[in-house]
Structure 1
């Protein structure tokens, strides 16, 4: 039997209902944060001090000492928001720092280093069609992925207050494009590729998938085979554009960086890391984590 897609207008209310349920039963365990802003390179970076990084490191050490466990097979039913067609499930992120942080998980195991498929983009745009959000992908452990089971992530916009919907948004207006529509953003001092998604919302997933392949080529990440990425990277996706950043290191001076860092949102575990970000500068930190 084919799993139906969420009805138009139904997904956000379902997310809110499942959040209430998961909080009530203890399945959802939000991490309290202290947020500050750091001005750097014409971007107002959001920096949240959290304990989840410490917890993630502890969990990683436990996994290394014990047989591997896939939290998505089976997934916690109390965190399930909806089926997204036959191939994906929408889940609440169990240890969320940002409210309504969601995971778009493949129903059957695929490795996180697999290329993002048209089916993956279709599932993402089912969500983006119903609420304004930022989709992102951590392509491998060096890019911030903590689980080997393929999953995209999405957080609602705006990402934080004050400032624009996304901290890096002011830089994107200056993007320069080649004739094929692939561009770069002068304010980003690291290897990257940027593209806009134009046309109707009905074809957005197809166009995003095509642009994604072009971004891989533009940054030299030519797939070794038809289904696997050749190197780690982060991808950001909105209704209107994609940004791809190849990665070289999972952390810089102990500060972990995932795709949200390249949107202008960083996470630190203590005051020492907060000082590191302020002294080094968020943009320099991102540059050192990229290629």
Structure 2
């Protein structure tokens, strides 16, 4: 597998396409009010959205099309006004139509693959070809119970920092204490099942080597939490839902049991220390339970 050559071109393309998509009305940024809540050594960033009406309408329309037997995949075909770049022979980059974070990218497979399919080397090659061009957090929501809203396989990247007033990632202060056991280890400050790996900084400038190293460590993460491959028509699929966080320096995988806690939906960004709520009632739930307890409740039992 050869490494795609998009060096230096991706970030200018993101900025250019964002301006175009905003101008033509293809992009619908979701405005939020930011709050921080300290819990267990993490300064959680909570974004309360002002309105999700447009996104809810879009999802209801796709569900109605699916009920009528019509294709409801927003990536086949994709909206050309959201297209950013050809990443590889297997993946493209699109803007997230309903973005909460500016310049939120989707790394989408060209052909349909299920979101519950295990990640493969091609996925990691596409991801790191993008992530090595700007400082970002990659993540994956493995199935609906892990916060995935689309069936078509896609990874995601958001630029860092998530909050200008704190560390680039809210959970980062906890990671220095990680206890490694071979390739995979755990982070003592995270009170839920997970597995953590560090990535080799010596290959941080070589996307294909980094992708291969990350893929090997991803397999170690799956093994560490007891997830395995299940054959489905010749395609390896996950045995349980999970979230994956990816940076140039490390990866964190968290097995999941449910999507919601009292109506609050949690995806991979929650485990980075960034939560989203729809209204005052959901904000009250976060304050009452505490962000770490919310994360505990959507993971598998210890």
Specify the TM-score bucket, using the shorter chain as the normaliser.
Answer: over 0.9
- Please point out which of 244, 249, 252 is paired with 1:240: 249
Q: Which runs of 4+ in 1 moved over 6 A?
A: none
In structure 1, how many angstroms separate the alpha carbons of the residues matched to 2:95 and 2:220? 31
Q: Give the match for residue 136 of structure 1.
A: 139
| C-alpha distance 173-76 of structure 1, shift in aligned 2 (>3 A) | same
- Please point out which of 210, 213, 223 is paired with 1:204: 210
8 Å contact kept, 2:3–2:125: no
Q: Gaps (5+ residues) in structure 1?
A: none
| C-alpha distance 255-40 of structure 1, shift in aligned 2 (>3 A) | same
Q: Give the match for residue 259 of structure 2.
A: 250
8 Å contact kept, 1:98–1:155: yes
In structure 2, how many angstroms separate the alpha carbons of the residues matched to 1:216 and 1:45? 26
SS of the residue 1:66 aligns to: helix
SS of the residue 2:129 aligns to: helix
Shift of 1:92: 0.4
What do the CA deviations read for 1:196-250 (whole angstroms, capped 9, x no partner)? 0113132110010000011001001021236110010000000011100000010
Shift of 1:5: 3.6
Shift of 1:66: 3.2
- Structure 2 length as normaliser, TM-score? 0.92
What do the CA deviations read for 1:43-69 (whole angstroms, capped 9, x no partner)? 000000015656555544444443241
| C-alpha distance 290-55 of structure 1, shift in aligned 2 (>3 A) | farther
In structure 1, how many angstroms separate the alpha carbons of the residues matched to 2:46 and 2:90? 34
Q: Give the match for residue 151 of structure 1.
A: 154
Equivalences for 1:83-122 in 2 at 5 Å?
83-122=86-125
SS of the residue 1:72 aligns to: coil
Q: Give the match for residue 25 of structure 1.
A: 24
Q: Give the match for residue 216 of structure 1.
A: 222
Q: Give the match for residue 181 of structure 1.
A: 183
In structure 1, how many angstroms separate the alpha carbons of the residues matched to 2:24 and 2:170? 34
In structure 1, how many angstroms separate the alpha carbons of the residues matched to 2:197 and 2:87? 26
What is the root-mean-square deviation in Å for CA atoms of aligned residues? 1.6
Q: Give the match for residue 196 of structure 2.
A: 194
In structure 1, how many angstroms separate the alpha carbons of the residues matched to 2:282 and 2:170? 20
| C-alpha distance 88-97 of structure 1, shift in aligned 2 (>3 A) | same
Shift of 1:70: 0.4
In structure 2, how many angstroms separate the alpha carbons of the residues matched to 1:84 and 1:13? 14
| C-alpha distance 234-5 of structure 1, shift in aligned 2 (>3 A) | same
8 Å contact kept, 2:55–2:98: no
Equivalences for 1:1-80 in 2 at 5 Å?
5-51=4-50, 56-57=55-56, 59-67=58-66, 68-80=71-83
In structure 2, how many angstroms separate the alpha carbons of the residues matched to 1:284 and 1:177? 24
SS of the residue 1:217 aligns to: helix
Aligned residues: 288
Shift of 1:286: 0.2
8 Å contact kept, 1:52–1:95: no
In structure 1, how many angstroms separate the alpha carbons of the residues matched to 2:158 and 2:28? 16
| C-alpha distance 54-24 of structure 1, shift in aligned 2 (>3 A) | closer
- Structure 1 length as normaliser, TM-score? 0.95
SS of the residue 1:148 aligns to: coil
8 Å contact kept, 2:95–2:104: yes
8 Å contact kept, 1:18–1:80: yes
8 Å contact kept, 1:54–1:269: no
